[in-house]
């Protein structure tokens, strides 16, 4: 009989992956049941509205099919994913080791779910905020920036990713009108408008207000060290990234005076793509996930953390929408999308881009120079590789760069 090897002692700081793994099956089943009850009651109410019975039944069938597949995938594949996460923790912890590109998406997802937990524990998978160009993190001092950006221009465009993503989400290739592969938005804008594209990476599991203020401090350091004097800025945020960028633009100093930072006066435009200025259906799912997490003693701490984050997001939205702050010379441009081809059809608003509704993405968040557009036949992430979206961004930017 072969001798059984002793189990390795658990690492104190590996508790996050192990806790998630242990609670996944139980929590997923509870969340599925809870989601089914809420969805059934919601669709039941909609079916009572005149002329909506048949469309709602179709939507409910599609919803149940998709939701069932999602929960099945969580049960079957989630455990393996979290086992991989633990291996990634080991790799990242090894001296002199860096997680390779293939682990980026996993790391971003883990930070979205438990970013505060990772940061608090000092876990090496916690994402530190930074600006990137050509896949490399930029050191924000004059000599380093001059070496890293030899072709720096006086017009900087900073792309801000959304929830559970990293900067690589902006590097998707689209399809041009002629059917040929189009370069990512940043590369095209650099060629066509002479701007310098930079990309923010941040922990999307931290409160949006905290990320917004940290982003503001980062931009202040960037502008101070930029090779050219007094560069102009354009910020482009996708989904929650738009809220992070908007929060940074609207921060005031300790005395309540704007601007807090010099770069705020050097910012020409804020472009928000599919940003939930007035809420998003996905937040309702986040509520369900939060409730489900609290049902399991193994994941109760994560549930409480998620609930706190939800409260922080709501507080930020009330603060921003309540003040209706003027744009103060920053042009706000909002682009919403819908899976429906016809954005004027009632269902186009109902389903939105699959995550954010059209009205949520195009609601004017401030008084002043604000404009919005809507696109049909494209989803939440698909917007970042959509030729029409690029043309609209270029048109908006071109108008202020003349």
**Of the given ranges (1-15, 172-186, 271-285, 322-336), which has the lowest mean pLDDT?**
1-15
Which residues, listed in sequence order, are joined to residue 331 by a DSSP beta bridge? Answer: 269
Query: If 0-12 CB within 10 Å is exposed, 13-18 middle and 19+ buried, where does residue 275 land?
Result: buried
When mean pLDDT is compared across 129-143, 230-244, 316-330, 356-370, the lowest value belongs to 316-330
Count Cβ neighbours within 10 Å for each residue of 202-234 and write b for 16 or more, e otherwise.
bbbbbbbbbbbbbbbebbbbbbebbbeeebbbb
* Alpha-carbon distances of 67 from 60, 136, 296, 336, rounded to whole Å: 10, 38, 21, 24
Q: Using 50, 70 and 90 to split pLDDT, how confident is the model at 38?
A: very low
Report the pLDDT value the prediction gives residue 44, as an integer from 0 to 100: 55
The answer to whether residues 234 and 196 touch, using CB atoms and an 8 Å cutoff, is: no
> Which has the minimum average pLDDT: 18-22, 106-110, 351-355, 388-392?
18-22
Q: What is the DSSP string of 217-254?
A: HHHHHHHHH-SSSS-EEEEEEETHHHHHHHHHHH---T
Cβ atoms 126, 119 nearer than 8 A: yes
Mean pLDDT in residue range 69-82: 48
Instruction: Supply 206's token pair.
Output: 């931290």
Does 393 have pLDDT greater than 80?
yes
Q: Which domains does the chain have, with CATH numbers?
A: 13-121 (no CATH), 130-400 (3.40.50.1820)
Residue in the block written with tokens 């954005």: 343
pLDDT score, position 74: 47
Comparing CA positions, the residue from 94, 133, 120, 67 lying closest to residue 309 is: 120
Angle, alpha carbons 304-115-360 (nearest 5°): 80
With bands split at pLDDT 50, 70 and 90, how would you rate the model's confidence at 46?
very low
| Tokens 């001059």 belong to residue | 146
CA-based max dimension of the chain: 80
Does residue 139 have a pLDDT over 70? yes
CA–CA separation, 392 vs 333, rounded Å?
10
Give dist(CA 144, CA 197) in Å, integer: 17
Q: What is the pTM of this model?
A: 0.73
Q: Averaged over 219-237, what is the pLDDT?
A: 97
pLDDT at 54: 53
Question: CA-CA distances (angstroms) from residue 146 to 127, 132, 138, 149, 151?
Answer: 25, 14, 10, 5, 9
- Does residue 269 or residue 280 have the better pLDDT? 269
Asked whether residue 388 carries a pLDDT value surpassing 50, the answer given is yes
pLDDT in tens, 282-309: 554 454 444 444 544 544 545 555 555 5
Residues 203 and 162: their CA atoms lie apart, in Å, by 10
Cα separation, 139 vs 222, in Å, equals 9
The two beta strands, 130-133 and 196-201, are: antiparallel
d(CA 379, CA 248): 26
Residue range 91-109: mean pLDDT, rounded: 60
> Considering the chain, what percentage of its residues have pLDDT values greater than 90?
43
Residue 161 vs residue 61, higher pLDDT: 161
Higher pLDDT: 92 or 212? It is 212
């Amino acid at each position: 009989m072969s001798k059984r090897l002793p189990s390795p002692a658990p690492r104190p700081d590996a508790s996050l992956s192990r806790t998630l793994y242990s609670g996944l099956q139980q929590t997923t089943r509870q969340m599925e049941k809870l989601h089914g009850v809420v969805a059934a009651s919601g669709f039941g109410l909609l079916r009572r509205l005149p002329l909506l019975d048949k469309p709602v039944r179709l939507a409910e069938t599609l919803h149940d099919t998709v939701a069932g597949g999602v929960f099945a995938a969580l049960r079957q594949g989630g455990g393996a994913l979290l086992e991989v996460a633990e291996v990634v923790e080991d790799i990242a912890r090894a001296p002199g080791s860096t997680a390779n590109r293939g682990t980026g998406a996993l790391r971003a997802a883990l930070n979205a779910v438990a970013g505060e937990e990772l940061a608090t524990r000092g876990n090496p998978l916690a994402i530190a905020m930074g600006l990137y160009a050509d896949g490399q993190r930029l050191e924000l001092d004059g000599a380093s920036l001059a070496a890293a950006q030899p072709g720096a221009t006086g017009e900087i465009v900073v792309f801000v990713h959304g929830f559970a993503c990293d900067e690589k989400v902006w590097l998707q290739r689209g399809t041009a009108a002629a059917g040929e592969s189009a370069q990512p938005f940043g590369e095209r804008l650099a060629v066509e408008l002479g701007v310098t594209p930079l990309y923010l990476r941040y922990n999307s599991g931290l409160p949006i207000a905290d990320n917004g203020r940290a982003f503001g401090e980062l931009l202040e350091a960037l502008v101070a060290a930029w090779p050219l004097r007094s560069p102009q800025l354009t910020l482009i945020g996708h989904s929650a990234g738009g809220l992070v960028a908007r929060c940074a633009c609207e921060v005031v100093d300790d005395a309540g005076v704007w601007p807090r930072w010099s770069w705020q006066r050097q910012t020409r435009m804020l472009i928000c793509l599919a940003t939930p200025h007035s809420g998003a259906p996905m937040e309702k799912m986040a509520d369900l996930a939060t409730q489900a997490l609290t049902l399991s003693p193994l994941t109760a701490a994560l549930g409480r953390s998620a609930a706190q984050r939800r409260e922080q997001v709501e507080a930020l939205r009330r603060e921003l929408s309540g003040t209706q702050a003027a744009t103060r010379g920053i042009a706000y441009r909002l682009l919403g999308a819908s899976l429906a081809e016809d954005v004027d059809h009632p269902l186009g608003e109902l389903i939105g881009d699959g995550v954010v509704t059209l009205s949520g993405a195009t609601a004017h968040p401030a008084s002043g120079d604000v404009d919005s557009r809507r696109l049909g036949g494209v989803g939440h992430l698909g917007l970042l590789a959509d030729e029409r979206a690029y043309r609209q961004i270029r048109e908006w930017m071109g108008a202020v760069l003349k």
